[in-house]
A and B are shown apart, each in its own frame.
Chain A
Amino acid sequence: MSGARAQIRSLVLSGDTFDQPAVEIRELQLEAAREAFAAHRERIPLLHTRAEETGVREVTALDDLVPLLFSHTSYKSYPLSLITAGRWDRLLRWYTTVSTVEPGDVDVDGVRDIDEWTDRITAAGHRPYITSGTSGKVSFLNCAADDLSFLHDILEHLTCWPDPLPPKPTRRGYLLAPASGPMRSIDGFRWHAEVFARPGETRLLTDDPLRVSELMSSALLRRRIAEGTATPQEISSHETASEAREAEMDAAVSGIVDDIAAHRDEPLLIAGMNNQQFALIQALRARGVPDGGLHPDTLVLSGGGNKGRALPEDYQQQFAAFYDGVRRVRSYGMTELQGSCLACEKGHYHVPPWVIPLVLDQQGETLLNPEHGVVEGRFAFLDVSLEGRWGGLISGDRVLVDFSPCACGRPGPAVLPDIQRYGDLGGDDKITCAATLDSYVRGMIHG
């Protein structure tokens, strides 16, 4: 990578990543967007198709990017039957249409399941990060080797920005996560432990790797239920297995709770997704660990939102109360973009320079970015740093973005704290008698 994209990427090491003057950074970003489009259009068939179809030949202004944005469905648009029937070569072919992976890069000979398939891509120097939605169908977001090292740079230099944590291995670590697996959070937690925790002193929730096939099992069962081929016993076993896994996790958490309680006067690293974090906090409180009772040099990582509204409304306030006085990473982000929008002293999430925020109308069709001031709309962006896939994406989030200088004294743009998913804002009550099969599959299964 060279030119404007490389220049923007290098800002992560500059010490003043978020202090770049707005006008200069906008020019640099537009140039980087041009470069990213020119490079990816040749390598990512889906982007090529989109460019042909919309007639966008080059990026001359941010408006040109809007028709080129993907939605999150792109990354899970493979036919599920490719997995159920074990058509790994075809699945790879699909993957090459949404990433910079070439069919010849990956050897899928003898692959037996989806986990092996993802391992083969990893072996070829790419990493397919998965995210799972409520439907159970997982998305595969490709990262190239360069993207992974960039992620590592971000965590080494920007953890706890605006007061970055020195990269010193001084903590006792707890990762509320599987030992490994193609998930950005798992890699992220592991790398944080390598940088900020004492070698050999990190405990995991489980020593098992995350299995993609297990994550997908809900989606596959859903499909079989919809088709009418799932048996009652099968549904029951799935429910039981989910409950057993939850029970195992609870047991693992309680082991970690004992250890944290015993070492709470030392600096710790506690990393976990929000639901695990929430369970941990409840258990620690029950053990008598008071709010604000951890060593001040403790680093806490959390994330993942509140999928399916499984957590109470005030879970963030509860996190803040319990982890009062420790170092916390507060950010707004998603697997789809590199790094995150990081909270400044005022609690506004500053968009990193390699991410061009594109605020769209709710339909996701019109760019609303103003010169100055606050605008409300659907969060979309182009991440110009990405090598492994096209970084242009439309999210499901309703955000307010301030394009004026922030109250903290730095230039914008920054995402304001009131972030909601359009899906949670409630639709209208348009009623139609036409249905999808989903209406006939009830109660999925710890989604």
Chain B
Amino acid sequence: MSGTTLDSTAAAPVAVVHIIRGEVDEGPHVGHGRPGAAFTAPALALDRLVWPRTEPGPAFQTPTAEIVDLLVATGDALKADPDGLLAEALERMTAVSPLPAEVLERAYAVLWRSFRRPALYAQIDHELGGADVLDGWREVRLPEGRIAATRAYPPRLVHIIAGNAPGVAAMSVVRGALTKGVNLLKLPSNDLFTTTAILRTMASVAPGHPVVRSFSAAYWRGGDEAVESVLFRPQFFDKLVAWGGEATIRGALRYVGPGFELVSFDPKTSISLIGREAFATPESLAEAAEAGAADATFFNQQACVASRFQFVEGSPADADRYAALLCERLGVAREFSSAHGPRVASELREEIDVLRSLAPDYRVWGGYDGTGLVIRSPEPVDFHPDGKIVNVVPVPALTDAVAHAGVATQTVGVYPDARKAHLRDALACAGVQRVVSLGGAGGMPPGLSHDGFYPLQRLMRWVNDE
């Protein structure tokens, strides 16, 4: 911006920490970002961001039990935060994240949950069939009496993680550690701090541990060819693990080729289906609206699991009753959402103002202050509801709503539970990956598939001895 308009908050830019093979990078910093969102980070030394293929990674032969112990200890340390690493990261996060401080605070307070022993073994057991195949060669009996052996061999991974929920960083570190592989994590500009806080906590629990040395985390501008065209090669990494961000995934595709594959957690959107049973009693309607609001407000609707369109089985008048209650419940603070979300963006405001004037076909509840807004319309609106905005659409039958689910739909919350069994095949056929009880969209249980596949299984390199 020009000199006449610089804001007075031009304090010293925030310094972002890089981790190189488990250690804090003490090198000289360079500037990044834009005015008002400037930060510095250590200049990249590309050679130090790769682990040469001529030798195995530090943790390739570390027993799984030892890795699990380390992760559990890391979880305990995250909970206690003895060195204040998480507190420091949280303070810096609030400046760059669109999420309010209270939501970040509560998300940080439960980061340790991803590191609980049962959760770790659920992934190992359900996705890989047990730790034996991580720790050695599993015997496989084939037709005609043949015997072979297979091993889930540690991979070399570069992760491009999403920054819209801190849990993504925790999940990525946990998965990376369980693979025993080497992991370079690219920090997104909307979360420059969580990953490094977790890795530094792990390093403080077990300095110099092979798993600690298997992790690097650094910032470069997403899509920066000077960095990506050099690093994204099969000589250095086996797989690119990319979260969301259409530009990221399209950019990454240029580098995907023989020996370098893409594991993509695609950008997704989510919806809800509310059956006519909700209207049986005032209590059941309140229950459905509360569950629908919980799903819509997860991380103030910044997450892919957050519901944006809710299809109500009934008349427009029924939908209105639900919508009015839903709007009330959107303004309630929950574990991962605040009573006040972001103010509705001006472009959306205009679209909604126009719809207001198209009553009775369209009705709007709530205002633009970020406490929640609901639009009831004859069919889904053309825009992307975002920031605690839900579009409620009446349908004659829930099966009619299936047409509105597609390849971009990740999670579908259903009310009541009993309706799921009848709908799940049709939803799966449409492209949906998760059918949940309404109210249960937030937080994916470890050990189940994610975006339609088993991540841990996809991350490993499956090698045979035949």
Contact = CB atoms under 8 A, between A and B. Distances in A.
Given A429-B223, A434-B303, A90 B358 contact: yes
Nearest to A93: B358
A88 interface: no
A62 interface: no
A50 interface: yes
B304 A435 contact: yes
Nearest to A425: B34
Q: Is the interface of B mostly helix, strand, loop or mixed?
A: loop
B406 A46 contact: no
Interface in A227-261: 227-228
B384 interface: yes
B386 to A, nearest CB: 8
Contact of B243 (A98, A394, A433): A433
B350 interface: yes
B412 interface: no
B162 interface: yes
B243 A431 contact: yes
B15 interface: no
B457 interface: no
Contact of A375 (B2, B244, B247, B384): B2
A433 B34 contact: no
A90 B361 CA distance: 10
Given A71-B346, A428-B33, A433 B267 contact: yes
A432 B265 CA distance: 10
A434 B304 contact: yes
Residue among A78, A90, A430, A431 with most chain B CB within 10 A? A431
A437 B356 CA distance: 24
Nearest to B348: A73
Nearest to B160: A431
B243 A228 contact: no
Interface stretch (A269-277, A280-288, A299-307, A366-374): A366-374
Interface residues of A, number: 47
B296 to A, nearest CB: 12
Contacts of B110: none
Interface string B367-400: 0100000000111011010100000000000000
A226 B406 contact: yes
B248 A435 contact: no
Given A50-B353, A430-B163, A433-B267, A439 B246 contact: yes
A207 B140 CA distance: 73
Interface string B148-168: 000000000000111111001
A98 B354 contact: yes
A375 B382 CA distance: 36
Contacts of B221: 429
Interface of B: 1-2, 4-5, 33-34, 37, 160-165, 168, 188-190, 221-223, 243-248, 265-269, 301-304, 306, 346-347, 350-351, 353-358, 361, 368, 377-379, 381-382, 384, 386, 403-404, 406-408, 430-431
Given A376-B5, A431-B243, 17 more contacts: A45-B357, A73-B347, A90-B358, A97-B354, A227-B403, A227-B404, A377-B1, A431-B160, A431-B161, A432-B304, A434-B269, A434-B301, A434-B303, A434-B306, A435-B246, A438-B246, A439-B267
